[in-house]
Amino acid sequence: MTRRNGILEVRMHTNGGTLQFDWPVQTAYGHVWSDIGRDPENEVMILTGTGELWQIGNPEVWTTKFIDWPNSRKVEMYHESLRMVENMIHCFDIPTIGVFNGTGSHWQLGTLCDITLCAEDTAFFDAHYLGGVPPGDGIVLTLQKILGTKNAAIHAYTGMNIDAEAALNLGLVSEVLPREQLLPRAWELAEMIMQAPRSVRHLTHSIAAHPWKKALAHDQGLQLTHQLVDMAMDEEGIHERLMKIKERFQRNGR
């Protein structure tokens, strides 16, 4: 994290490189959003990744089938999955800017920000259904809210790419820029936002985030429960199916 004049830049990473997602990372998300939101010295947040990828999904986290997880851990998984998304909305009273430095998993976090920038070669897609899992982690909820019911459904079923230009036209991102221009532009926007009084910043964010609060309250718990219920009955296991389509992830930097 880097903070200057109230602007906090949060950069996801693993040992200085692209973030490699695992269960400790999922747990950490909820804590990080809560910690950032409680610190009154944070006035605007910029969220980005490291290198040329947003983050990397690791199929190895599914080596142990979910059906074989202890019941207590399954319940923890439910709450941690919710906090990863919900705390980003409910714990922040400050304007947020998501900066996609490239393609990657769990991209719903960047689109939940008030303003979202992305690199020109970024691709967005949801591979849950392709991997034999109902899509309940917040990506399809994001697609439903921004793209609409029909567009969200075809992307959920097919896992087809939304490239950066299409993402801009569909309203999934606010601006598309060369990678080297992303953070300078984010800081430019953050500094512009900081020119308004604190109360104006906070209340404008409240207005901007309110549609997400309603969507999460109405649908996120239900969608996540559908995903986890199916996973808890799945005897084959997610890892085996992901290995069958691993080339898809490799092509898209996942």
Indicate the residue type of 38.
R
What is the distance between the alpha carbons of residues 143 and 158, in angstroms, rounded to a whole number? 13
Tell me how far CA of residue 105 lies from CA of 39, 56, 108, 124, in angstroms: 28, 6, 8, 9
Bridge partners (DSSP) listed for residue 96: 45
Question: What is the tens place of the pLDDT at every residue in 2-21?
Answer: 999 999 999 999 999 999 99
Q: pLDDT tens-digit profile of 67-111?
A: 999 999 999 999 999 999 999 999 999 999 999 999 999 999 999
Query: Token digits for 92?
Result: 């922040």
The pTM (predicted TM-score) of the whole model is 0.94
Walk me through the domains of the chain, giving residue ranges and CATH numbers. 2-251 (3.90.226.10)
Question: 25: closest CA among 37, 36, 14, 9?
Answer: 14
Structure tokens at 132: 């034999």
Q: What is the pLDDT of residues 135-182, one digit of tens each?
A: 999 999 999 999 999 999 999 999 999 999 999 999 999 999 999 999
3-state secondary structure of 115: strand
